[in-house]
Amino acid sequence: MSLLPFFQWCEASAVGTAIRNSQWLFPVIEAVHLLGLALMGGVVLVVDMRLMGLGVRRKPVAALAREIEPWLIGTLIVMLTTGLLLYTSEPTKLYYNGAFWMKMWFLASAIIYTFTVRRTVLAADETRVSPAWKTLVALISITLWAGVGIGGRAIGFY
């Protein structure tokens, strides 16, 4: 089953057409998307660096993660919403773009990982999780989210 008809339908949508035909909509949406990505990167790094024993040491990692989670969810919503809008402006082009599919793979993996494995380790009693395991979890998290950003940047060059 091909997704191409769905991508073509998205391209023909009123939203996609409006964004594509506007001189300012795409750049404004992209700017908000990139600001969301930057904020997401900061939120992920603060918690993952603490998970590795670096950075904000005055708070337990579970408390820090709880405090920052609204920012994580908020920036994720911003990124997904603006990303969907950007996608509707050129879905057929993206269908044939390998970097787009790489970004989608990293995005799905990062979201699943963040809200399953990483969340479980962050909530666990710090004495029950080895430093090596915490470091590995943090490095995988950073790698997955970096893959989202790198994949997004590569879309324009593929």
Q: Which of 108, 120, 10, 4 is nearest to 62 (CA)?
A: 120
Q: What is the model's pLDDT at position 156?
A: 86
Q: What is the value of pTM for the model shown?
A: 0.91
Q: What is the model's pLDDT at position 158?
A: 79
Q: What is the model's pLDDT at position 1?
A: 78
Side chain identity at residue 121, one-letter code: V
Mean pLDDT of each 10-residue bin along the chain, 158 residues long = 91 94 95 95 95 87 93 96 96 95 97 96 88 95 96 90
Map out the domains of the chain as residue ranges. Answer: 4-155
Number of H helices, E strands in the chain: 8, 0
Cα(84)–Cα(123) distance, integer angstroms = 31
Cα(8)–Cα(90) distance, integer angstroms = 9
